């Protein structure tokens, strides 16, 4: 049996979500009712587990922080564990109508898989949810693909590959014009990480774009654009796009 964590470690764990925050969650663009419904459904999934692991607890705190629901973990877990059929139906309808069901599926998969393999009851529950949310097979495959990349799970053959476009790198003189031209041509938003371009110059287009993209400058003469679901933006910092590009070229 593991010894209890040092009191200081327990306190450090309780503030990690503030020290290492996730990107702002896509659900924050919705109404407070939708945000609460989304978070309540995630809490209900956690409450249905035999026990909530330390990894799941930390991940849920970080997700709530990214949804601007910091400090509401206990309240939401309590509510999630006592949902009536009518309340459950209302939560499902709110999330479904918001168009964020595929984001919810990815979050649910990550929460369930972060500390252990998925159990048969997890798979059964997720199957029911995807049917109720009317999530199609392509989006399920996409969520599974990004789950494996975000959590760095052991590579398995997945029947899904993101769209990758390769462009010839322009000279420095034309690079700024090239970036602006690509944003217009691809009709995408871009996220910046390290030397990579990440935030769209035309920020007003971000809310309306259905696909987000990221430039990967990993070759002297090439620029790669990897397309990924906009609803996945919260997790983009956990993905090694270099590996995805390498595998996509094979």
Domain layout of the chain by residue ranges = 7-150, 164-248
Q: How do residues 153-163 score in pLDDT, each as one tens digit?
A: 876 677 888 88
Contact 105, 133 (CB under 8 A): yes
Q: How do residues 69-81 score in pLDDT, each as one tens digit?
A: 998 999 999 999 9
Question: 3-class SS at 68?
Answer: coil
Whole-number mean pLDDT of the chain? 78
- Of the pLDDT bands very low, low, confident and very high (cuts 50, 70, 90), residue 14 is low
Count of positions (residues) in the chain: 250
Give me the residue label for tokens 């494996």.
148
Query: What pTM was computed for the model?
Result: 0.79
pLDDT of 245 reads 83
Contacts of 244 (CB under 8 A, 6+ apart): 149, 162, 164, 226
Contact 211, 188 (CB under 8 A): yes
CA contacts within 13 A on the Cβ side of 104: 31
Rounded to 10 degrees, the C-alpha dihedral 228/116/18/32 comes to 60
Distances (CA, A) of 17 to 55, 57, 58: 12, 10, 7
User: Homologous superfamily of 7-150 in CATH?
Assistant: TerB-like (1.10.3680.10)
Q: Where are the beta strands (DSSP E) in 67-163?
A: none
């Amino acid at each position: 049996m593991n010894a209890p964590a040092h009191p200081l470690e327990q306190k450090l764990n309780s503030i990690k979500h503030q020290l290492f925050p996730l990107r702002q969650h896509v659900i924050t663009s919705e109404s407070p009712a939708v945000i609460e419904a989304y978070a309540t459904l995630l809490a209900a999934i956690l409450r249905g587990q035999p026990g909530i692991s330390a990894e799941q607890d930390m991940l849920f705190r970080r997700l709530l922080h990214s949804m601007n629901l910091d400090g509401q973990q206990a309240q939401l877990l309590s509510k999630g564990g006592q949902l009536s059929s009518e309340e459950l139906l209302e939560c499902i309808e709110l999330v479904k109508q918001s168009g964020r069901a595929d984001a919810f599926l990815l979050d649910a998969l990550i929460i369930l898989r972060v500390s252990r393999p998925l159990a048969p009851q997890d798979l059964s529950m997720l199957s029911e949810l995807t049917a109720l949310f009317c999530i199609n097979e392509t989006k399920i495959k996409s969520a599974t693909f990004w789950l494996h990349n975000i959590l760095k799970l052991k590579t398995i053959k997945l029947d899904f590959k993101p769209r990758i476009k390769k462009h010839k790198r322009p000279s420095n003189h034309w690079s700024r014009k090239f970036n602006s031209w690509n944003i217009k041509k691809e009709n995408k938003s871009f996220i910046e990480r390290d030397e990579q371009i990440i935030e769209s110059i035309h920020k007003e287009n971000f809310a309306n774009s259905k696909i987000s993209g990221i430039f990967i400058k990993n070759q002297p003469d090439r620029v790669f654009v990897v397309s990924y679901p906009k609803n996945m933006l919260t997790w983009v910092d956990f993905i090694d796009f270099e590996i995805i590009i390498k595998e996509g070229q094979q």
